[in-house]
Amino acid sequence: MKTFPFIYNEPREFLKSLQPKEWADFLLGEINPRFSTTAIKAKVVAVREETADTKTIVLKPNWLWKGFRSGQHVPVTVEIAGRRVTRFYSLSSHPKDKHLSITVKRQKGGLVSNFINQNIKKGDLLELGEASGEFVLPKMIPSKLLFLAGGSGITPIHSILKQLQSSKYDGKATLLYFVRSYEDVILRSSLEEIAKTTGWLNIRYIFSDVPKEGYDSGFLTKEILKKYTDDLKSYSVYVCGPAPMQTKALSLLEGNEVKSELFLLPGQTSLKVKKSGTVDVFLSLSHKTIQVKGERSLLEELEDQGIYPQSGCRMGICHTCVCKKAVGSVTDLSNGEVSELGEENIQICVSRAESNLELEL
């Protein structure tokens, strides 16, 4: 049985420990680990293997969960080696499903994705934040939709397709799913069930690495788009996948209404920069000065030195890692722009040091 840690030597520290919400969470947790007055805790009710490196985690959240819209993502926090780590994952389920689900693909060097695939099992608890994101359908749903998915970018699109199925959509939708091989198609049985039962969805798999007879091979091209659409300009387009695919899609679809959800791996925002020497970073809240090379994001270089600021998506979307820069200049890795030397708020997951810095950390 857990015990409440009475480790306070100073009266002020002891009084601070007597916070009603903290005591309530402790007592509720003794009754049921999913109970909390402050945190969205979700019990894992099932784990489904989608492919050799992808699993769907089915979750039953507590009463603090406020729901989501199809296409949105959610922060997921796990504890790894004593450290709380948060990543954002798209919800692959439909809002009206009995339980919500995330579908997580292992990534090379992916701390959380690998941990979830290797360790999370039925009965475990995950901590969630509130769902967010604008990769959603409008109130007036277009009569012609084109979905472009790459790899695990299929997850929010799958949720949107389930929404269309639930709402008895009567338009026309085409899904072009770019993936390495037939065996790597994520959520295949569910996608094909939607196509089979609705009649308005046309699915085309395009394999980049392992060709399969009867299927297209290669990457996104104008020819592929024209092959599977009639009057391309008339489609509203949703794109989710790796950065190179998104860049290509936006260049090919100029003039179309396009909504995109950038799918990046941690570190992909980093530019390949080789520098000589180091710069000083003064952390004003902890009264510490460290040296970094300025070759990667500040978040990565801080973590290399055992400093773990609060962070989330690690790709400049969630703004969890925003902090005040009082002095110095940084490069925004998402667009290559160099900041002014003065005071401003920066996202350390997509900021690289250009000069000596003072950060409110």
Each residue's pLDDT tens digit, 188-205: 999 999 999 999 999 999
Q: What is residue 314's predicted lDDT score, i.e. its pLDDT?
A: 75
245 and 298 within one domain: no
CATH code, domain carrying 341: 3.10.20.30
Of 262, 287, 313, the residue at which a domain comes to its end is 262
293 and 258 within one domain: no
- Predicted confidence band at 20 (pLDDT cuts at 50, 70, 90)? low
Q: CA-to-CA distance for 262 and 73, rounded, in angstroms?
A: 12
157 and 112 within one domain: no
DSSP H or E segment with residue 258: strand 257-262
In a domain, 100, yes or no: yes
Identify the CA nearest to 259 among candidates 73, 133, 120.
Answer: 133
CATH code, domain carrying 63: 2.40.30.10
Asked whether residue 208 carries a pLDDT value surpassing 50, the answer given is yes
In a domain, 67, yes or no: yes
226 and 161 within one domain: yes
Q: What is residue 81's predicted lDDT score, i.e. its pLDDT?
A: 85
Identify the CA nearest to 358 among candidates 307, 300, 295, 285.
Answer: 285
In a domain, 335, yes or no: yes
148 and 124 within one domain: no
In a domain, 289, yes or no: yes
| Residue 30: both structure tokens together | 């003794």
User: Residue 316 — left, alpha, or beta (φ > 0 → left; ψ -120 to 50 → alpha)?
Assistant: left
Mean pLDDT over 128-149 rounds to: 95
149 and 243 within one domain: yes
In a domain, 136, yes or no: no
| CA angle, residues 52, 53, 54, in degrees to nearest 5 | 105
Each residue's pLDDT tens digit, 293-324: 888 889 989 988 889 888 877 777 777 889 99
Of 194, 227, 262, the residue at which a domain comes to its end is 262
Contact call for residues 275 and 249 (beta carbons, < 8 A): no
Distances (CA, A) of 249 to 43, 68, 71, 144, 241: 38, 27, 19, 17, 10
Q: CA-to-CA distance for 31 and 341, rounded, in angstroms?
A: 53
Mean pLDDT over 124-143 rounds to: 94
In a domain, 163, yes or no: yes
334 and 241 within one domain: no
80 and 46 within one domain: yes
185 and 160 within one domain: yes
Contact call for residues 144 and 238 (beta carbons, < 8 A): no
Of 97, 128, 159, the residue at which a domain comes to its end is 128
CATH code, domain carrying 243: 3.40.50.80
Q: CA-to-CA distance for 238 and 71, rounded, in angstroms?
A: 10
Q: CA-to-CA distance for 330 and 171, rounded, in angstroms?
A: 47
306 and 227 within one domain: no
Q: What is residue 184's predicted lDDT score, i.e. its pLDDT?
A: 97
The number of distinct structural domains making up the chain is 3
| Residue 345: both structure tokens together | 């708020």
Q: CA-to-CA distance for 286 and 283, rounded, in angstroms?
A: 6
Q: What is residue 85's predicted lDDT score, i.e. its pLDDT?
A: 84
Q: CA-to-CA distance for 100 and 13, rounded, in angstroms?
A: 39
Q: CA-to-CA distance for 322 and 344, rounded, in angstroms?
A: 10
| Residue 56: both structure tokens together | 């769907």
Each residue's pLDDT tens digit, 77-132: 998 888 888 888 999 999 999 999 999 999 887 889 999 999 999 999 999 999 98
In a domain, 10, yes or no: no
In a domain, 319, yes or no: yes
Expressed as residue numbers, the domain containing 331 is 279-359
110 and 202 within one domain: no
Q: Which residues contact 94 (CB under 8 A, 6 or more apart)?
A: 70, 159, 162, 163, 166
Q: What is residue 109's predicted lDDT score, i.e. its pLDDT?
A: 78
Q: CA-to-CA distance for 61 and 267, rounded, in angstroms?
A: 30
85 and 189 within one domain: no
